[in-house]
Chain A
Amino acid sequence: MAAVQADGARGTGRATPGTADSRRRRRYSRDLTGWLFVAPAIVFVFLFFGYPIIKNLTMSLQDYTTTTFFTGFAPWVGFSNYAAIVTDPIFITTVANTALFTIGSIVFQFAFGLGLALFFKRNFPLSGFLRSLLLLPWLLPLIASAAVWKWILDQGSGALNQFLGIFGIAPVPWLVNPTVALISVIGVNIWLGIPFNTTILYSGLQAVPEQLYEAASLDGAVGWKAFWHITWPSIRSVVGVVVVLGVVYTLKVVDIILGLTGGGPANSTQTLATWAYQKSFVQFLFGQGAAVSNLLIVVSLAFALAYLYMTRREVDE
């Protein structure tokens, strides 16, 4: 087809020798160059994102067990893994825990993060130093943090209860009582998330022009009013990004919970993420584990799309 057309072009348009042909060739080579530039990214995305997600989807529809590793054979079982998950007595508990864990973490991380960001915006002596200290939780390996917190929160000999004991407060069962354990785990995760929130919100605050506050103060908008009418609208898009990313990061938290409670006592700190881990790597029910993590992926994906939508609108504005 291309050859016929090329001949035709040569036959009629002798005046511009070889133009269409070379133009086309040039375009092909330009296209090819383009594809070559994109190829590494495509290969990377397919290999490291596409393949695992597809594999995870297929795994959740299979009876994927330890045997599969040796024989490579995993019978298809349709949606029975999902059915097993949803009808499991701890499914509801797990979903509720995931929601409480995520919402509790995000609300407080954000509140503390914003408060600290506003505080550090004042640029007082040593504020830079203090701000860098604040990053500390972020720099520690999670497993190390979890181990230290587990020791701090120990009921009998933990540092926190020893300290509270000075004021005559009876030992609190931080990780022992099912209700308190969930609160403790959320508390530790808040501590972990504050640096992220502070850092991003602080940089957002830096971008708010100082003149706006000067102009507003002439109109009498200071303090709370200035925050509400100038600061908040200016950092709104940053807030959106922080919250959405925070939700995605929090949903998938495994290490801190495993380190502190292992999902216990009595599944009171079991979230979808830790449950998926438990199913796959403790009970070797890889199919069910994949099903749980797919649920998690769908929820995360919804928030990721919200994030994309928000950042796009930001560009439009």
Chain B
Amino acid sequence: MKKSRMTVVVAGAAVFSLALGACSSGSVSSSGGKQNLTVEDYYTKTYDPIYQDCATQVGVNVNPVHVAGAALIAKVLQQASSKTLPDVLMLDNPDVQQIAQTGALAPLSDFGVTAPAGDVPAVVQAGTYQGKLYGIAPVINSIALYYNVDMLNAAGLTPPTTWDELRADAKSLTDPSKGVYGFAMSNINTYEGTWQFLPFFWTNGGDEKNISTPGAVQALQFVLDLQNDGSMSKSSVTWAQSDVNNQFIAGKAAMMINGPWQLPALNATKGLHFASVPIPVRTSSQKVVAPLGGETFNVPQTGDKTKMALAGKFVACLNTPAMQLKIAKVSGNVPADEATAATWAQSHPQVKSFVETVKTARSRTAELGPKWPTAATAIYTAVQLALTGKATPAAALQQAQASNH
């Protein structure tokens, strides 16, 4: 029922946007003979000065369109079917391959654009589909372990670096009488839950092609142990990352897994002293492998060769280390260029753990490409089965693997 209604909506919207497209295409060439580039993203007006900056450098006029985050992909699909794609399109990095597969994006090599040489390897991984680069992310992020400095000091603890330390610290930081849990993370039944479990899963050798391996079982068992110890609330299966952040801000969690986009909210909380370290690993010989976050800029196939070439230049401009730094200042994310990121971390110690983490981060679509959503669904399903006690970690992963193909 829902479906059929949706088809009408999509069809209707397609007709409508066709009509709009027809209107706007007439007024495209504009003041001073400069071309107009439409940039579509899910950011806010804070990005407009950055776009303006690059527009001046490339010699075009820019028209930013900000869409609500959840609606972006639906809108892109509509635009793809009605051939009204914007000139420059921002996409969340795990969606790039999915959209590139449709043929709606142009390879950046068509315009002689490559990723900056200093960018961390995961950026190229995330933007590449079948050997061709379709999108580059100027700024990136990942997740790390935040901790409440006052609580750790009171307990005489230093930030954990291994799973054993994390487990022990979480246990001693837990205080049921005050409703304080030692540790919090999001294990919700969405891709956010998958994203948060990945550092444990990947670092310990887990792989999305076959999620039912001993390393994966160990990782899931570890998260379950945290819950069984009473160090992590059973509610984590319903918490989004923003809920986890609220628990931490309210002083109900001494440590949490979260990203740099929470920094503004954390800094705005009076009396909260916090810091972060990379997510602990099982044995000290392991190097943390966390998922790469961040949005890439892409050039859709609009059919207008002149504008597509300009759009390519525009994307290249956004990704220059100088612009990366500007965008980092607006977004709180990490510049993709390693050297720039190192400089950035020196003046902004709060992002240091993220700068460290993204160096070895992995792109979610690196292995499965457009098939990632199926694996991501299987992974959060396994986590949920284990944490709700419906199956043991081994059985949960095995069960979820059955629908991972």
Contact = CB atoms under 8 A, between A and B. Distances in A.
Question: Chain B's interface: helix, strand, loop or mixed, by majority?
Answer: helix
B390 A284 contact: no
B321 to A, nearest CB: 33
Contact of B101 (A52, A66, A283): A66
B2 A252 contact: yes
Contact of A52 (B7, B77, B102, B381): B7
Interface in A32-66: 48, 51-53, 55-56, 59, 65-66
Q: Please tell me the size bucket of the interface on B.
A: 35 or more
A146 to B, nearest CB: 13
B4 A72 contact: no
Contacts of A59: 7
Contacts of B103: 67, 70-71
Given A155-B235, A283-B373, A283-B377, A55 B388 contact: no
B189 A156 contact: no
Contact of B252 (A52, A55, A156, A297): A156
A262 B233 contact: no
A69 B7 contact: no
A205 interface: no
A245 to B, nearest CB: 13
A297 B4 contact: yes
Contacts of A263: 189
Contacts of A126: none
Interface string B1-21: 111111110010000000000
A300 interface: yes
A280 interface: yes
Interface stretch (A75-83, A169-177, A187-195, A211-219): A169-177
A293 B101 contact: no
A280 B374 CA distance: 12
Nearest to B384: A266
A130 B102 CA distance: 56
B104 interface: yes
Contacts of A176: 234-235, 237-238, 388
Nearest to B14: A69
Interface string B59-94: 000000000000000100110110000000000000
A21 interface: no
A281 B235 CA distance: 26
Contacts of B234: 155, 173, 176-177
A72 B81 contact: yes
Given A69-B80, A262-B188, A281-B74, A178 B388 contact: yes
B101 to A, nearest CB: 6
B320 interface: no
B179 interface: yes
Nearest to A296: B1
A264 B189 contact: yes
B198 interface: no
A67 B101 contact: yes
A69 B77 contact: yes
A89 B400 CA distance: 8
B233 A276 contact: no
B360 interface: no
Contacts of B4: 52-53, 55-56, 293, 297
B403 interface: yes
Interface in A236-282: 251-252, 254, 261-268, 273, 276-277, 280-282
B400 to A, nearest CB: 8
B38 interface: no
A297 B390 CA distance: 31
Contact of B102 (A70, A289, A293): A70
B68 to A, nearest CB: 14
A211 to B, nearest CB: 43
Contacts of B8: 48, 51-52
Nearest to A158: B235
Contacts of B188: 262, 264
Given A51-B7, A67-B102, A297-B4, 7 more contacts: A59-B7, A178-B388, A261-B238, A262-B190, A266-B189, A266-B381, A293-B3
10 contacts: A48-B8, A51-B8, A53-B4, A56-B7, A156-B233, A177-B234, A262-B190, A265-B388, A276-B3, A280-B6
Interface of A: 48, 51-53, 55-56, 59, 65-67, 69-72, 88-90, 154-156, 173, 175-178, 251-252, 254, 261-268, 273, 276-277, 280-284, 289-290, 293, 296-297, 300
Which 7 A/B pairs are nearest by Cβ-Cβ distance? A264-B189, A52-B4, A293-B3, A266-B384, A70-B102, A70-B80, A252-B1
